[in-house]
């Protein structure tokens, strides 16, 4: 059955993944970015890659860490605060978020090339 435009736009495809964070005493949710959000993140990477992207893990997590309703936990203005958290914890969450968003090592390598 072919989908209509309305059915495509109404589909809830920004699924949530709950990740236990024992270091923080609980769990967090990671959501799938919209294609526009991912394009924005990738564009930021490509525009700034020659000088490096400060806090690129925290910037990615800012776009995907959310509550159980999918509402983002952090605003873009709070990236610096998120970047002060443990590299171990942030690394674990970043890897989970990359997998959940179907971003692979090859995707990151491709961004580095362009």
Provide the residue ranges of all domains of the chain, joining segments of one domain with +: 16-113
Q: Check residue 41 and give its pLDDT.
A: 85
Query: Helix H segments across 1-114?
Result: 5-10, 35-48, 56-62, 79-82, 87-100, 105-113
pTM for the predicted model, two decimal places: 0.80
Mean pLDDT of 61-85: 96
Residue 63 binned pLDDT confidence (cut-offs 50, 70, 90): very high
Average pLDDT over every residue of 4-12: 92
Tell me, what's the pLDDT at 105? Answer: 62
Which fold, 16-113? rbstp2171 (3.30.2220)
Query: What pLDDT, on a 0 to 100 scale, did the predictor assign at position 111?
Result: 57
pLDDT in tens, 10-59: 988 878 999 999 999 999 999 999 999 888 888 887 777 777 778 889 99
Closest CA to 89 of 14, 15, 26, 16: 26
Helix (H, G, I), strand (E, B) or coil at 23: helix
Dist. CA 59–CA 79, nearest whole Å = 6
pLDDT digits (tens, 9 = 90+) for 100-114: 998 876 665 665 555
């Amino acid at each position: 059955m072919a989908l209509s435009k309305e059915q495509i736009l109404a589909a809830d495809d920004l699924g949530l993944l709950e990740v236990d964070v024992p270091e923080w005493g609980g769990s967090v949710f990671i959501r799938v970015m919209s294609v526009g959000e991912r394009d924005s993140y990738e564009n930021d990477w490509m525009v700034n890659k020659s000088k490096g992207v400060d806090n690129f893990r925290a910037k990615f997590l800012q776009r995907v860490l959310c509550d159980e309703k999918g509402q983002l936990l952090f605003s873009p203005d709070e990236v610096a605060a998120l970047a002060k958290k443990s590299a171990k914890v942030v690394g674990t969450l970043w890897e989970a978020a990359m997998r959940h968003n179907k971003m692979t090592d090859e995707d990151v390598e491709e961004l580095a090339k362009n």
